[in-house]
Amino acid sequence: MPTNRDEELDETVAFWTERVTIKDLEVELTVASTSLGLCYLGLGPSIEEEQTLRAWMLRWLPQCSLIRKREQNSDAICQLQEYFTEKRKAFTIPLHQIGTPFQRQVWEELLRIPYGETRSYGEIATKVKNLKGQRAVGMANHRNPIGVMVPCHRVIGKNGHLTGYAGGLDIKQRLLELEGAILPLISKTAKKKKSEKEKTEDPSLFMGVEHIGIKALDLEKSLQFYIKALGFEFLYRIKPGDVELAFLELGGTVVELVEVAKGREYEDGVVNHLAIRVTDIFKAIEHLKTQQVELTDSQPMALGEGRYNFFFRGPSGEKLELFQA
């Protein structure tokens, strides 16, 4: 329930809507403030946000009236525009957070997540010592009325999934990209190697391979295969449009699994052959047999030396090669 102070607040709430751009995505920003500070921030269509704001006020600020006025929100809009253009990493305007004691406890933890970092729902649940766990935290996260400034977008699933976001996953993805919270996850090993190389060599135009695309007719099946059978580390998955992508890493190389099941329209954009270095090729073969992976061929290595390369098929028919390091 609202605090008595919020229930008895009798004043005008000023709100304003402006169009803003987050990276390449244009959205409508709706903000609202009381005399105590910013109380509402949404990134959905302005008509829907105004309806949501009015319903929220009936619940939490029943004595207040709503007017359209920019002046009271000008500082918030200015700081947000600086944030969206990567000129600001922290906000300094006062917030008027209104919710249940548990919700406000969760929101306080959100404010502690640094710019450019993420936390899982489980980590937040541990912080607030909540026995109800991740589901309760997820609900409190979803009901956060001050998006972006109270950074619920920085909370993701334990397995790296972006999960839900009131403004939509497209916005959540771009906010995390804007802060650099997604791209650094792609390859920590590759980033370290790149840094070491830059110290010793002059920079070249072509710096290296960012990732390799592999088709996935069944994304869930492919994920399980690459993680469990081949030991890839899961990084994250996104759905920027009609196609879903999942990123994994092994030994500094990032593989992008590209969903191609729907009409196979994305198949032209992926490769169909991946060579994997192994320390002991015969142990690797025995391991794959326990995973019910069928070897399809073996060929002498191009350099001879009496060694062979072994080939097998992945879950989407991709050609996978075992290469003795």
Q: What is the pLDDT of residue 6?
A: 60
Which of the 8 DSSP states describes residue 146?
B
pLDDT at 83 exceeding the cut of 80: yes
CATH 1.10.10.10 domain locations along the chain: 4-179
pLDDT at 166 exceeding the cut of 60: yes
Band of pLDDT at residue 300, cut at 50, 70 and 90: low
Span 17-68, pLDDT tens digits:
999 999 889 999 999 999 999 999 999 999 999 999 999 999 999 999 999 9
Band of pLDDT at residue 1, cut at 50, 70 and 90: very low
Confidence (pTM)? 0.57
Q: What is the pLDDT of residue 41?
A: 97
Q: Note the CATH number of domain 212-324.
A: 3.10.180.10
Residue 127 near residue 109 (C-beta atoms within 8 A): yes
What are the φ and ψ backbone dihedral angles of 262, each rounded to 5 degrees?
Answer: -80, 90
Active site residues: 152
User: 280 vs 229, 294, 319, 323, CA distance in Å?
Assistant: 15, 18, 20, 9
Span 133-165, pLDDT tens digits:
778 888 898 899 999 999 999 998 776 677 778
Span 206-263, pLDDT tens digits:
555 556 778 888 888 888 888 888 888 888 787 666 677 788 888 778 888 888 755 5
pLDDT at 9 exceeding the cut of 70: no
Mean pLDDT is highest, among 149-153, 183-187, 272-276, 314-318, for 149-153
Long-range contacts of 166-171 (CB under 8 A, 24+ apart): 166/42, 166/44, 166/142, 167/27, 167/42, 167/43, 167/44, 168/43, 168/44, 169/238, 169/239, 170/25, 170/240, 171/22, 171/25, 171/27, 171/43
End-to-end CA distance of the chain: give it in Å, rounded: 63
CATH topology for 4-179 is Arc Repressor Mutant, subunit A (1.10.10)
Which of 109-113, 193-197, 239-243, 249-253 has the weakest average pLDDT?
193-197
How far is the C-alpha of 125 from the C-alpha of 129, rounded, in Å? 6
How far is the C-alpha of 209 from the C-alpha of 190, rounded, in Å? 9
How far is the C-alpha of 60 from the C-alpha of 140, rounded, in Å? 15
* Residue 211 in tokens: 């990732």
Burial (CB count within 10 angstroms: exposed 0-12, middle 13-18, buried 19+), residue 186:
middle
How far is the C-alpha of 294 from the C-alpha of 2, rounded, in Å? 62
Pseudo-torsion of CA 182, 157, 49, 116, nearest 10°? -30
- In this structure, are strands 308-313 and 319-324 parallel, antiparallel, or unpaired? antiparallel
Spatial CB neighbours of 21, under 8 Å, sequence gap ≥ 6: 27, 84
Taking Cα atoms as reference points, which of 174, 170, 173, 113 lies closest to residue 144? Answer: 113
Q: What is the pLDDT of residue 51?
A: 94
Which of 40-49, 95-104, 185-194, 288-297 has the weakest average pLDDT?
185-194
The amino acid occupying position 42 is G
